[in-house]
């Protein structure tokens, strides 16, 4: 009698397990079953926004769910980062995270309400882009050497626009200043679009920004490019010398962009996102679209991205310390 009862109970447990397992598996495989928000820390029009919309469209196609790109500029990208860090770790709020958000701003401002090493679940690298030093035509310089000479003759008088305090736009300017012993006045804006508008309007003398943003203005003859930070000249601007060619081999600035989720996001969701992004990055259409914007397509494992965040956080921390850069 006891044996029969135990056998009955065991049978019920096994039956329940057989029922529950497919349900749990189905729940995991059901992601996503509603719209995903993709947060961008800049206004529309910059490299980050471009990448988000290209990948967002392809994610929506793959997942058959809407991917809504939501721009949250301000505070040097901290507003967006803090929003994502506080969001539910369910895979429905993601962040297009530029390198500066995860590696620069926290070094410049210890009061930001997020920890780049603890508050996010790295998913994948997406793209990278070199930087350009561009000058207003009113500035009487034709190359980077002449810029240095002019800045030394007019200390603190030459102004440069950035896409925000604590961004690579900002710190690339500080790195160039420190390496060449010059004094440039930093003028931060809330994104690349207003920064370049200021350059075009003569409000500032220089801008440190991406090839994506500046190449159309250079091609149109509205501003002059002095140097590009890539290892080789860009097909978009073949006449612009690299930093190494111009004699600034140590001026290495390569901005990468990644996708991260709030910390605690389940591994199966992170892995599904990573696999899908990898497939998207291999699509010729995506690579071509990014290339026309001066962007190189990238992908990585979550672990490799985490390692890159840690190493660049340390590297830019040294730049901040050496330059004495502050959030002005």
pLDDT digits 0-9 by tens, 30-73: 999 999 999 999 889 878 999 999 999 999 999 999 999 999 99
| Domain residue extents for the chain | 29-128+255-323, 130-228
**Comparing 14-18, 94-98, 103-107, 202-206, which segment has the lowest mean pLDDT?**
14-18
Asked whether this chain's domains 29-128+255-323 and 130-228 adopt the same fold, the reply is yes
The whole-chain average pLDDT of the chain stands at 90
User: Would the pTM of this model clear 0.75, i.e. be above it?
Assistant: yes
Say whether pLDDT at 20 is over 80.
Answer: no
Please, what CATH class does the domain formed by 130-228 belong to?
alpha beta
- Burial class (CB within 10 angstroms; exposed 0-12, middle 13-18, buried 19+) of 298: middle
Say what the pLDDT of residue 24 is.
38
The reply to whether omega before 32 is within 30° of 0 (cis) is yes
User: Which spans in 203-253 are helix H?
Assistant: 211-219
pLDDT digits 0-9 by tens, 118-154: 999 999 999 999 999 999 999 999 999 999 999 999 9
Say what the pLDDT of residue 45 is.
81
Fold (CATH) for 29-128+255-323: D-Maltodextrin-Binding Protein; domain 2 (3.40.190)
Residue 207 vs residue 1, higher pLDDT: 207
Mean pLDDT over 4-8 rounds to 46
């Amino acid at each position: 009698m006891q044996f029969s009862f135990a056998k009955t109970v065991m049978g019920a447990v096994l039956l329940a397990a057989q029922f529950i397992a497919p349900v749990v598996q189905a729940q995991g495989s059901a992601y996503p079953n509603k719209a995903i928000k993709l947060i961008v820390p800049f206004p529309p029009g910059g490299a980050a926004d471009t990448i988000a919309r290209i990948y967002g469209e392809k994610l929506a196609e793959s997942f058959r769910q809407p991917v809504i790109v939501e721009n949250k500029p301000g505070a040097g990208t901290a507003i967006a980062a803090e929003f994502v860090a506080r969001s539910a770790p369910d895979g429905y709020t993601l962040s297009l995270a530029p390198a500066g958000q995860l590696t620069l701003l926290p070094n410049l401002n210890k009061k930001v309400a997020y920890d780049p090493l603890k508050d996010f679940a790295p998913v994948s690298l997406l793209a990278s882009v070199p930087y350009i030093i561009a000058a207003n035509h009113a500035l009487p310089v034709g190359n980077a050497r002449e810029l240095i000479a002019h800045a030394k003759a007019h200390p603190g008088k030459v102004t440069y626009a950035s896409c925000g305090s604590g961004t690579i736009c900002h710190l690339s300017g500080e790195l160039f200043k420190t390496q060449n012993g010059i004094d440039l006045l930093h003028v931060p804006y809330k994104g690349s679009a207003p920064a370049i508008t200021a350059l075009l309007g003569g409000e500032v003398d220089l801008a440190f920004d991406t090839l994506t943003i500046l190449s159309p203005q250079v091609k149109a003859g509205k501003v002059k490019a002095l140097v590009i930070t890539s290892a080789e000249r860009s097909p978009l601007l073949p006449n612009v010398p690299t930093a190494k060619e111009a004699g600034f081999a140590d001026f290495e600035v390569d901005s990468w962009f990644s996708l991260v989720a709030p910390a605690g996001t389940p591994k199966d969701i992170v892995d599904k996102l990573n696999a899908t992004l990898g497939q998207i990055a291999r699509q010729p259409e995506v690579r071509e679209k990014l290339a026309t914007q001066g962007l190189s397509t990238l992908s990585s494992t979550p672990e490799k991205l985490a390692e890159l965040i840690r190493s660049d956080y340390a590297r830019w921390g040294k730049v901040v310390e050496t330059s004495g850069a502050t959030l002005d």
